[in-house]
Amino acid sequence: MSVPDRPSLPERTAAARLIVVIRGKRADQYAPVLETLAGAGIRSVELTLSTPGTLEELPALLERFGDRLDIGIGTVTDPADLRTAAERGAHYIVTPITRADLLQAAAEAGISIVPGGLTPSELHAGWAAGAAAVKVFPASVVGPGYVKDLRGPFPGIRVVPSGGVDLEAAGAWLRAGADAVSVGGPLLGDALSGGSLEALAERAAQFVAVTTREAGA
C-alpha cells in the first residue's frame, strides 16, 4: 500500500539513526542532560509524556536546543496531547501503540509519527496509515532478524526498534536494516538521578560511534 505523502523522519534523526529516549521524574531535569547529549554528538531525543511537565517545558527546550537537537515527544496515547505537542513545536511524535485516532491526529497536524507495535498486523497498520517509521516494541522480544522477516511481506517498511536496545544490539539492529534505533536506559544510566554527566557523555559518544559506523559515515 503506497502512501505518497508519507512524512519522513526529521532529517537530523534520519541521518543520526539514533533516538535517545529520556524518561525522568520531572521535566525540569531535562536541560543538563540535553546539553550533555548534544555536546556528545546526539542529534535526536524523545521526551516522554510519562515525565510530568514535558509539554509545558517543550517550548523552552526547543528554544534552547532546537538548533542542535531534534526533539520528539513520546509515550503519546491521547490525540489531544499529540495536537498540543505539535502546536508547541515538537519535531516528531512517538507512541507505544498503533491506534487510528493517533495516526489521524498526526496526519491532520502534519507531523511525523512513529507508532509502536510488535506483531506484523500492528506494524503494517501503522505503516499503511502513513507513519514515518514503525517502532518495534519491545524489541528485545524479537531481535534484529525481525527486520528481514517484516520486509518479506512489507517491502520498504521503515523500522525503529525500542526497548532493551543496548550498545551491542544497536549495532546488530542497524546491520540488519533498521532505519534507526531507540535507546533509553543503556545510554542514560543514572544521569537523571544525579549520576555523572561526564559518564553520560562517554556512553553517548560510544553509541554515536556505533550508529555512525553502521550508517557508513
Q: Which residues are catalytic?
A: 46, 135
- Is residue 52 a contact partner of residue 214, using CB atoms and an 8 Å limit? no
96-102 CB contacts, 8 Å cutoff, 24+ apart: 96/135, 96/137, 98/122, 98/123, 98/125, 98/126, 98/134, 100/129, 102/76, 102/77
> What is the grid cell recorded at 216?
557508513
Rounded CA-CA distance 141/154 in Å is 20
- Is residue 150 a contact partner of residue 159, using CB atoms and an 8 Å limit? yes
Beta strand 134-136 with 92-94 is unpaired
Residue with cell 509519527: 113
Total Cβ atoms within 10 A of residue 22: 24
152 burial class (0-12, 13-18, 19+ CB within 10 angstroms)?
Answer: exposed
Rounded CA-CA distance 197/190 in Å is 9
